[in-house]
Structure 1
Amino acid sequence: MKKLLLVLGLGIFLVSCNSEEKQEADLLVYNAKVYTVNPDFETSEAFVVKDGKFLATGTADVLKEKYKAKESLDVGGKAVFPGFIDAHAHFFGLGLQQQKVDLTGTNSFEEVVERIVDFQEERDADFITGRGWDQNDWKVKEFPVKDTLDQLFPDTPIAITRIDGHALLANQAALDLAGITTETPFEGGDIEQKNGELTGILVDNPMGLIGNAQPAPSRKEQITALLEAQEICFSYGLTTVDDAGINKSTVELIDSLQQAGDMKIRIYAMLSNTTENLDHYLDKDPIKTERLNVRSVKFYGDGALGSRGAALKEEYSDRPGHFGALLSSPEEFKKTAERVANSKFQLNTHAIGDSANYLVLETYDKLLQKGEDRRWRIEHSQVIDEEDFKYFSKNIIPSVQPTHATSDMYWAEDRLGEERIKGAYAYKKLLDQAGVLPLGTDFPVEQVSPFLTFYAATARQDTDQYPEAGFMKDQALSREETLKGMTIWAAYANFEEEEKGSIEAGKFADFIILDKNIMEIDEQEIPEVKVLETYVNGEKVN
């Protein structure tokens, strides 16, 4: 009997010791298929979170033995991924867009006008703005003119921006307010005229004249915009967004909202290339908190292909004698690039056409010393001459948006011709050369959904499964490559791969739970996948 009691007592003592030795944790997530996106691309069944960071991955049984979690979450076998990172978007712009006329998906200029009329009946705005029209989607694939808007709104200024943000249509009231006439000088873009009269179309740089004439959004409107953008992004599983081109005032507002706890999303800020921004930031160290990273400058090299503003080495195939345009002189770009090279900041340059890409790539190559870890980026890297792919590397990074390929594919060859198109939207080739390929959406130019990004990158089709064989399907990415582009490679492009982009011990506990597994379901189902829950720092935010 004494022996039995001794054995029982020893057993109780050991159980008690094991219980006491368990490490405290905040959350155990289990019964999942966890895509860790670690270096071996392993999957796991469970993980533990403590103090906003991943503590360990493994099986539920092993983790329950080792950790005592305050909360447990059974996800019912669903797929779990690191929080998605959008490597190129316009976060603040998305929020402001919610306060404007939404012109996306319009099938004619008549429909554009209808939406403007409906908007004004509801809002009675002093200056009507909107975005999203695309003449390439219309039966008449020409830029619209201002005549109808002049008749309907003779006294109310209107400025509606094309989907790509590189052209706008203004009515006469807006042109008068901005002081634009047929004699207005400009460089880098166009103020379109026909028969000696303004059509209302402005391309690239002259658009700033209209922007300067518009009333600035109030602080309240800006805060509303940022919080609405955050809500939209969280609903799609985005936990970090690279905001490609914002000013000091917006950075400071984001920081204040994050410090107050109102903004939980993480922002990688690309500073717009303005004198104020460069003078304020470049002589200092980058700004880094857990949710805000200010360490890059965004420079616009050229315009967009859809509005024929992209700078090409040879003339446009569908407009003889037209080459697009650089938005700044090569000398100005090189001067800015040299200034950034002498700072601790990264340079991220918008380059669409092969001429713009060549200028940027050659400049980067000359300025970046061998062995330096600067990770300068080419935003879009859209049309590349065959001989220029060699410049890309893990230090000169192509940053691309797969839905641009499937949005442009209907007319891109018309612009470029059958030979030049072979170097366009060449994501597989870019990845093979660079070794990393961060992916984004460029929202609100494209839709926010990262699932459309995933689908466009892998299927190279639109949601109607066109074209049947895929657009330049040899340039499609695998599902594993695409997931890395939306997580760990995007983190790498931000110098943040040690703190996010994968589910590994020590990294921020940013993760999402999906209703379907994008790595396994039929390709055609991917665009309709829904995010069930989004977590930042282990806290549920959606």
Structure 2
Amino acid sequence: MTERTARTVLLRGGNVYSPADPFATAMLVEGEHIAWVGSDGAAEAYADVADEIVELNGALVTPAFVDAHVHATSTGLALTGLDLTGCPSMAAALERIAAFAADLADGVLIGHGWDETKWPEGRAPSLAELDGAAGGAAVYLSRTDVHSALASTALRAVTPDLAAQPGHSADGPLSRDAHHAVRRAALAHLTAEQRRAAQLATLRRAAELGIGALHECAGPDISSEQDLAALLALAAETDGPDVFGYWGELGEAGVATARRLGAVGAGGDLFADGALGSHTACLHTPYADADHTGTAYLTAEQIADHVAACTEAGLQAGFHAIGDAAIAAVLDGVRAAGERVGAARVRALRHRVEHAEALDDKAVAAFAELGLTASVQPAFDAAWGGPDGMYVQRLGAERAAGLNPFAAMLRAGVPLAFGSDAPVTPLDPWGTVRAAAFHLTPEHRISARAAFTAHTRGGWRALGRDQDGVLVPGAVASYAVWDVADLVVQAPDDRVAGWSTDPRSGTPGLPDLTPGVALPTCNRTAVRGRTVYLAS
């Protein structure tokens, strides 16, 4: 384990993003906490006591980002292995699969990121086409939304009772229970060394991007107890981002397992439904391009039982819910739990809903009423929104335009915590802030300042730690240092234009996030006062 002695670090000569002093240029860190922020002149009093002085040379210092929804092992496997994200065609994807399969000595080839909606062929590979590329290897390839997957014949053969599972297809992608089964079979073939390497890759990449904390959304259908335990142990013994685990298993068993593993909640990817891209998000009205309404995994009664059990245990609950019918079931269940164990007790725990995409005004109001935290991913809109995006293909233009209503949620007082759902979308914190500020549906846009808060302090508030995620004396010293061009202040009445560099505003500035402008680059990340990344 790395030695972690308390040190005093003085940063000076930059721009410190702090509500304690909007003109701050220096910051003092003592041990794990921020001790002071202020001017360079006042900082001279601390120069003699500092163990280290960091000359910022005009750099921006902000709270480190919090990614409120990740899957570390899968993300690391995509970072270090077969990543099909951005493949221009099915043919190109098959060529990439064949190249990786040719180098596979044994075990399972695991990859991620294919998206047939962006391919000219307009479809996923058949089983015969996949087997041809795999050359006999066992292959598991998750779709970009991670709610369906391609599996070669060799992998299907070692997955028990696969053909009897809901969502099985003899020739195409697997979804629902069949997907969960084949994913478990694939991940079971990972060695401890492969898992550790993948998790380390994710932690290192997060640190390079100025991310100081991750919420790992684990569970029996998305990973395993062993996977979460290994990740939490790895984070504790290495210098890197803090990791907070969620365990997505229903009822008393889920509460007990979450407690045993040291998870902060029994939720995360506890699936109420699936995803829009895989036609498994649960809707009130059928898909525009399919004659069904998706898949409901949980009833309102099951949700109520789980929320009540978590509330009695003092543990945060949470559910994956994307479609409007799934969200309605969650809201009905949480409300019923409140009637059973007390609405104030339910509200106090800030139970979470992951993704929460298809919300109308009534649902937004219910989120506020029930004290629910919305753990959302703005990059989903950047990837699949807009007039030509996947959302319109699946739902039609009118319904698609209602997805991810961040502005309405903020107006109603719904707490937002931003994440990536990596590997579904990449770890990319400034890109996430930009995606929220420049939502492809203009009425859903929020200010860059509000988006930045949702991706920093919002992640800590989702954990019940309201004092952190901000650079003020007494807060945990998890921060990042950025090379930026001009800092700007957004006019409050114009969420797209109206950028100003006038210092008289008294508001800390942020980088210009206008699409096409280069995003900031991180040159240092610190977690609880320890430097975990330093650019070479």
TM-score by length of 1: 0.84
AA of the residue aligned to 2:456: T
Larger Rg: 1
Q: Within 5 A, what are the aligned runs for 1:305-344? A: 305-319=276-290, 321-344=291-314
CA distance in 2, matches of 1:401, 1:283: 27
Structure-1 residue corresponding to 2:377? 401
CA contact (8 A) 2:271 2:319 kept: yes
Structure-1 residue corresponding to 2:144? 163
CA contact (8 A) 1:154 1:172 kept: no
Structure-2 residue corresponding to 1:257? 234
AA of the residue aligned to 1:264: G
Structure-2 residue corresponding to 1:89? 70
AA of the residue aligned to 2:100: F
Q: For 1:313-364, what per-residue CA distance to the aligned partner results, in whole angstroms no more than 9, with x for missing partners? A: 0111222x31001123444333323322221111121111000011112211
Alpha-carbon shift at residue 505 of structure 1 (Å): 1.2
Which SS does the other structure have where 1:523 is aligned?
A: coil
Structure-2 residue corresponding to 1:54? 34
CA distance in 2, matches of 1:230, 1:472: 33
Identical columns (%):
22
Distance change >3 Å, CA 149–CA 276, structure 1 → 2:
farther
Q: Does 1:509 align with 2:481?
A: no
Distance change >3 Å, CA 45–CA 205, structure 1 → 2:
same
CA distance in 2, matches of 1:348, 1:145: 36
Alpha-carbon shift at residue 44 of structure 1 (Å): 1.6
Which SS does the other structure have where 2:327 is aligned?
A: helix
Which SS does the other structure have where 1:392 is aligned?
A: helix
Structure-2 residue corresponding to 1:6? none
Q: Of 387, 412, 437, which aligns to 1:458? A: 437
Alpha-carbon shift at residue 502 of structure 1 (Å): 0.6
Structure-2 residue corresponding to 1:541? 532
Alpha-carbon shift at residue 177 of structure 1 (Å): 2.5
Structure-2 residue corresponding to 1:436? 415
Which SS does the other structure have where 1:158 is aligned?
A: strand
AA of the residue aligned to 2:454: G
CA distance in 1, matches of 2:518, 2:128: 39
CA distance in 2, matches of 1:150, 1:259: 41
CA distance in 2, matches of 1:496, 1:449: 23
Alpha-carbon shift at residue 98 of structure 1 (Å): 3.8
CA distance in 1, matches of 2:151, 2:234: 34
CA distance in 2, matches of 1:97, 1:398: 26
AA of the residue aligned to 1:340: C
Distance change >3 Å, CA 248–CA 78, structure 1 → 2:
same
| Stretch moving more, 418-427 or 245-254 | 245-254
Q: For 1:6-28, what per-residue CA distance to the aligned partner results, in whole angstroms no more than 9, with x for missing partners? A: xxxxxxxxxxxxxxxxxx97111
Structure-2 residue corresponding to 1:297? 267
Unaligned residue ranges in structure 2 (runs of 5+):
1-5, 488-509
Alpha-carbon shift at residue 379 of structure 1 (Å): 0.6
Q: Within 5 A, what are the aligned runs for 1:102-251? A: 102-153=83-134, 155-179=136-160, 184-186=164-166, 190-192=167-169, 198-214=170-186, 215-246=188-219, 247-251=224-228
CA contact (8 A) 1:160 1:169 kept: yes
Alpha-carbon shift at residue 63 of structure 1 (Å): 3.0
CA distance in 1, matches of 2:180, 2:162: 14
Q: For 1:55-94, what per-residue CA distance to the aligned partner results, in whole angstroms no more than 9, with x for missing partners? A: 0111122232266322211101111100111111212321
Which SS does the other structure have where 2:362 is aligned?
A: helix
Alpha-carbon shift at residue 263 of structure 1 (Å): 4.2
AA of the residue aligned to 2:473: A
CA contact (8 A) 2:108 2:189 kept: no
CA distance in 2, matches of 1:200, 1:431: 41
AA of the residue aligned to 1:267: V
Q: For 1:287-328, what per-residue CA distance to the aligned partner results, in whole angstroms no more than 9, with x for missing partners? A: 4xxxxx633423111110111111000111222x31001123
Which SS does the other structure have where 1:124 is aligned?
A: coil
Which SS does the other structure have where 2:171 is aligned?
A: strand
Q: Of 375, 379, 386, which aligns to 2:354? A: 379
AA of the residue aligned to 2:453: K
Distance change >3 Å, CA 110–CA 276, structure 1 → 2:
farther
AA of the residue aligned to 1:395: G
Alpha-carbon shift at residue 146 of structure 1 (Å): 1.2
CA distance in 1, matches of 2:21, 2:178: 47
Alpha-carbon shift at residue 132 of structure 1 (Å): 0.6
Q: Of 273, 287, 296, which aligns to 2:249? A: 273
CA contact (8 A) 1:364 1:396 kept: no
Q: Does 1:33 align with 2:15?
A: yes
Q: Within 5 A, what are the aligned runs for 1:444-523? A: 444-460=423-439, 471-498=440-467, 500-516=468-484, 519-521=510-512, 523=514
CA contact (8 A) 1:169 1:201 kept: yes
Alpha-carbon shift at residue 522 of structure 1 (Å): 5.5
Distance change >3 Å, CA 283–CA 307, structure 1 → 2:
closer
Structure-2 residue corresponding to 1:44? 24
| Stretch moving more, 120-129 or 220-229 | 120-129
TM-score by length of 2: 0.85
CA contact (8 A) 1:161 1:169 kept: yes
CA contact (8 A) 2:156 2:162 kept: yes
CA distance in 2, matches of 1:42, 1:491: 22
Which SS does the other structure have where 1:524 is aligned?
A: coil
Distance change >3 Å, CA 507–CA 180, structure 1 → 2:
same
AA of the residue aligned to 1:397: T
Alpha-carbon shift at residue 180 of structure 1 (Å): 5.2
Which SS does the other structure have where 2:313 is aligned?
A: coil
Q: For 1:446-498, what per-residue CA distance to the aligned partner results, in whole angstroms no more than 9, with x for missing partners? A: 011112101111123xxxxxxxxxx2112111111011011112210111222
Structure-2 residue corresponding to 1:424? 403
AA of the residue aligned to 1:318: D
Alpha-carbon shift at residue 383 of structure 1 (Å): 0.8
Name the count of aligned residue pairs.
489
Q: For 1:251-282, what per-residue CA distance to the aligned partner results, in whole angstroms no more than 9, with x for missing partners? A: 4323433443x243201211131689626346
CA contact (8 A) 2:21 2:38 kept: no
Q: For 1:166-201, what per-residue CA distance to the aligned partner results, in whole angstroms no more than 9, with x for missing partners? A: 01112223223225565x142xxx223xxxxx1131
Structure-2 residue corresponding to 1:19? none
| Stretch moving more, 433-442 or 207-216 | 207-216
| Stretch moving more, 299-308 or 391-400 | 391-400
Unaligned residue ranges in structure 1 (runs of 5+):
1-23, 193-197, 288-292, 461-470
Alpha-carbon shift at residue 232 of structure 1 (Å): 0.6
RMSD: 2.5
CA distance in 2, matches of 1:358, 1:403: 24
